Amino acid sequence: MKRTGATRARDLSVELAGVRLRTPVGVGSIGGPAVRREALTPDLYADIFLKHIAAGAGYICLPSTAHVPDALLSDLEKSAKQLAPQRPSARPLVFFKAREKASIHALPPGGATPREAAGVYARTTSALIQKLKEQKPKDIPLIANVSGLGFFAETFVAGARAHEEAGVDLIELNFSSPATAQGMLDEAVEGYLQRDFPLLPPGLFLGDQLELVERVTREVSSAVSIPVGVKISAEIGFPRLIKLARRIRDAGARFITCSNFGVTVTPPDIYARGRSTWPHLDGSPLGVIGGEWLRPIVYKQIACIARFVPGIEIMACGGIGKPEHVVESMMLGAKAVEMVTPVLFKGRKLLTRDVRFLEKYMEEQGYETPEDFRGLALGYIKPANQLHSTYDERSLLARVEAEKCKGCGVCADSICLAMSLEGGQAKVDADRCVACGMCVAVCPHEAVTLD
């Protein structure tokens, strides 16, 4: 049937753990806004998220929050590992553009005490949730990003219960944040190794302890009646990722979010005897990095969980900067995507762009709902020794487009014996070419193809 010029509206809604999201596109937990604490009112805070919704976000991810009641905190302070005195700092959350394309370093404020961390929910998040419930559309769910203190499961349970009572729709346990690694690196590493973590949000230090992940997930899932998920770290590699995901599933979690910022060190200034390149800082922390560099890791995590861990749903988060990336993530098995760094680089208008792209894409491809294309790529993920291609018929050959070739010689200046330069142009020796594709991949001018 011939299509008319009009585009019929598509249903972009998806279900995550039984909860309907208006669209599969949203903004991940970025954290508190960069403003002085005394200037941040609940209305100003809520307005940030309401603008996300107006731009097309199908759900709201709340900032990572711990809630530990005073009585419980007092008990834990008697037995928990004591922190060394913290140097107070008035600096805000700091960002620093990374060398990698569309990537960014972030450094949270340092010097938080256990009591300050334990009181984030009471101080800001509870009022934020109330404001959002009063002003947001009814069909936009709230996803709580719940942290705790140390390796104590009861602190996560307390936070999850408080968020459930406030009326959120989903719990996402934060076993992934690298923030504490920056704030107190030596103590955090020793606490991880000794399994005796101090009373600060543990993030990825807990998320790499499989038994603890399973125990905390199980206790939280049993303590609340709304669906629980776990946000994992980019530092969880293959194949440990699969074992972790199975334990999360078996502990009662309904979904896994892949993933949080990664850990790195910013390059030193080689012309200043290795000094820090962080602006306005006298040193280099063990930094966190998010953005485009993270996407291949996230794709690996999504595909591995979707293939090897049936029975749990997936959220994608990390490096998803284009609307095509949204579709790619979902074709690999994700139900929805959380955007963080792309929003910082391009603003929330990219949410509008991505929603419009999805509508047009689904119309052109004949998909009625996002579920029609979710997971389609999984059928093509095969062991390499089971793949068949035209290589087997030896019909492929590298070919140079003369009008595009600049004679730079990159293709011939490596390990390839089939490429050479003649008269300022790349040439292919057909008797030596095995069509490996390296020349296509490295050509800076896209002058080589395989035909």
pLDDT along the chain (451 residues), means of 10: 52 97 93 79 95 96 96 94 73 86 86 88 96 97 97 98 98 93 85 92 95 98 98 96 98 97 92 92 87 96 98 96 96 96 92 96 96 97 84 78 95 93 94 92 95 85
| The pLDDT value given to residue 4 | 42
| The pLDDT value given to residue 2 | 37
| The pLDDT value given to residue 7 | 53
Structure token digits, residue 30: 């970025």
| The pLDDT value given to residue 185 | 84
| The pLDDT value given to residue 280 | 84
Q: Which long-range contacts (CB under 8 A, 24 or more apart) does 161-167 make?
A: 161/223, 161/224, 162/67, 162/121, 162/126, 163/62, 163/65, 163/67, 163/121, 163/125, 163/129, 164/224, 164/225, 164/226, 166/126, 166/129, 166/130, 166/133, 167/129, 167/133, 167/142
Overall fold of domain 388-450: Alpha-Beta Plaits (3.30.70)
| The pLDDT value given to residue 40 | 87
DSSP annotation of 59 reads: S
| The pLDDT value given to residue 52 | 96
Overall fold of domain 14-380: TIM Barrel (3.20.20)
| The pLDDT value given to residue 304 | 97
Structure token digits, residue 175: 């076993």
pLDDT tens track for 121-147: 999 999 999 999 999 999 999 999 999
In the chain, list all ranges with CATH 3.20.20.70. 14-380
Q: What CA–CA distance (Å, rounded) separates 201 from 154?
A: 13
Q: Are 302 and 329 in contact (CB under 8 A)?
A: yes
| The pLDDT value given to residue 1 | 34
Q: What is the pTM of this model?
A: 0.93
In the chain, list all ranges with CATH 3.30.70.20. 388-450
